[in-house]
Amino acid sequence: MSPSPGHDVILKLEDISKVYAGTVAVKHANFEVRKGAVNVLVGENGAGKSTLMKIIAGVERPTAGRILLDGNEVSFSSSGEAVSRGIGMVFQELNLFGNLSVAENIFATRELINAFRKIDHKGQERRAAEFLEQLEAGIRPDMLVEDLRIGQQQLVEIAKAVSLDARILIMDEPTSALSAAEVEILFKVIADLKARGVAIVYISHRLEELIRIGDYITVLRDGRITGQEEMKNVDTQWIVRQMIGSDAKDFAKADGHQPGGEVFRAEEICLPRVTGGLAVDHVSLSLRAGEILGIYGLMGAGRSELFDCIMGRHGQASGRIFIDGKPVKERDTARRIQRGLALIPEDRQREGMVSILSVASNLTLASLSRFVSLFHIRGGAERQAVAQMVRELSIKVADPAQEVSSLSGGNQQKVVIGKALLTGPKVLLMDEPSRGIDVGAKADVFRTMRKLSRDGLGILFATSDLDEVMALSDRIAVMSNGKLTGMFDRAEATEAAIVAASALGHGPAPHTETNAR
């Protein structure tokens, strides 16, 4: 590609690789960042975008390869070092101190001090006000960060990065929590920074957004860079093609069994957001026995929250759910599990398993009552069930008494799935079941899902992986901003229609609501 004049390369990554224990996150990546331009980086979840950015920002160190800044090789041992070289980053997860004020957050670690080494709060607030002014957010610098809406917090994070006076500014999904109006303001700020010659690296899932503000685009897939172009030469189709690629992943084949009758129905599920509005907005759906219903949506679309509501984890949720046509009146998780619901949560470490307990204890944690006579756990029956689950899910473990944290991510995920299956569920809710596990384990998980649906289990699974939802689902539901914005049969579903439905109600995308219902 031939760069436009004036867009000199300021930062260059040459043949960068990053290996974590067991997985390769980035493979031989070459990436150029140009001055005075928006350099877009796009790819599916787990493609390695965030890892690549963390390498640039000095948070992670590459396993191999060189980083060239202004043509000179550099290596950052900490993010502070990268900041001192003019590289700033807006992180995807908010890195703010909720108990401190906005101004204190913006100047954290580089506090303005007076002659007596006392923090100059007045000065900080004055300076912070200038940055916040640009963002037109109506945030006062003396407000506590925890009192702000998530969107406003994201703006504070952006103000913090802008205040660094960085030459290179990395924004990792900066709009994920912003309203349409706030997105417009952010774009104005970005245009302003561009005019001042700042190089911006912009990561997002929202293709319309990228096409609108990007100058250069780089696509990552499975840790490899699969395409690099000037934005004016590409369209949505090209991006999707580069993101997904032609080589099919190992999805278990559908076996053509016919789903049975309705096993689960949710009606008008609503969950209020703490900051106002609805995180889950009047969602109704039904699931048949032996059917796999994929729920596609971007981060924050409300998929996990919907699952939480179904499991009874939120007291303030409203709506009705039915299993086999009978209403589920129980409001707590324990009794909903007894009614035949089971959840495999998205965050394995925090919600899926008790990492210091053994594989066996984790597997039977949700179903202990099955192995109990009076109050005594029958060790034999428990061991037998554990052994059977280990075999069925091909969990690689030398001894089930081993701590579960000693397993690889994929095997841990299988333990979490096994725990849910041992409760004998009728409906299985799987939230991002393939997140953070390697290819082989993914294939195992997908095969298991197929097998379970053949055995008559109803499966609801949420994902932000387009490929996955297309390949595995019998039907596809799309969520956006807490609403159900699309419902497709597999035969009629197209990637374009799904992506369009997932962007409804988000940002500046000027889409008609033809797919909504």
Positions that interact with other proteins (CB under 8 A): 311, 313, 332-334, 337-338, 343, 345, 350-357, 361, 365-366, 368-369, 372, 375-377, 379, 398-399, 401-403, 406, 419, 423
- Minimum distance, C-beta of residue 404 to other proteins, in the bound complex (Å): 10
| C-beta closer to other proteins: residue 93 or 399 | 399
- Minimum distance, C-beta of residue 395 to other proteins, in the bound complex (Å): 13
Nearest CA-CA partner of 465 in 506, 428, 504, 437:
437
| C-beta closer to other proteins: residue 329 or 376 | 376
Residue 215 vs residues 12, 13, 165, 370, 426: alpha-carbon distances, Å: 17, 18, 21, 60, 50
Task: Kindly give, in sequence order, each residue whose CB lies less than 8 Å from that of residue 271, ignoring residues fewer than 6 positions away.
Answer: 278, 279, 280, 302, 305, 306, 308, 309, 314, 316, 317, 318, 482
- Minimum distance, C-beta of residue 22 to other proteins, in the bound complex (Å): 10
Alpha helices (H) along 347-408: 359-364, 379-392
- Minimum distance, C-beta of residue 362 to other proteins, in the bound complex (Å): 9
- Minimum distance, C-beta of residue 347 to other proteins, in the bound complex (Å): 9
- The token pair at 321 is 């759910």
- Minimum distance, C-beta of residue 386 to other proteins, in the bound complex (Å): 13
Cα separation, 313 vs 16, whole angstroms: 43
Work out whether the CA dihedral 418, 420, 426, 428 comes out positive or negative: negative
- The token pair at 120 is 């100059």
- Minimum distance, C-beta of residue 24 to other proteins, in the bound complex (Å): 17
Overall size of the chain counted in residues: 517
Residue type, 170: I
If DSSP codes are grouped into helix, strand and coil, which group holds residue 457? coil
* CB-based burial label for 109 (10 Å; 0-12, 13-18, 19+): exposed
- Minimum distance, C-beta of residue 383 to other proteins, in the bound complex (Å): 13
- Minimum distance, C-beta of residue 357 to other proteins, in the bound complex (Å): 5
- Minimum distance, C-beta of residue 363 to other proteins, in the bound complex (Å): 10
- The token pair at 491 is 């035969």
Residue type, 87: I
C-alpha radius of gyration, the chain, whole number? 24
Alpha helices (H) along 284-376: 303-311, 333-338, 359-364
The continuous run of DSSP H or E covering 343 comes out as: strand 341-344
| C-beta closer to other proteins: residue 132 or 353 | 353
| C-beta closer to other proteins: residue 286 or 355 | 355
Strands 224-230 and 216-221: antiparallel
* CB-based burial label for 6 (10 Å; 0-12, 13-18, 19+): exposed
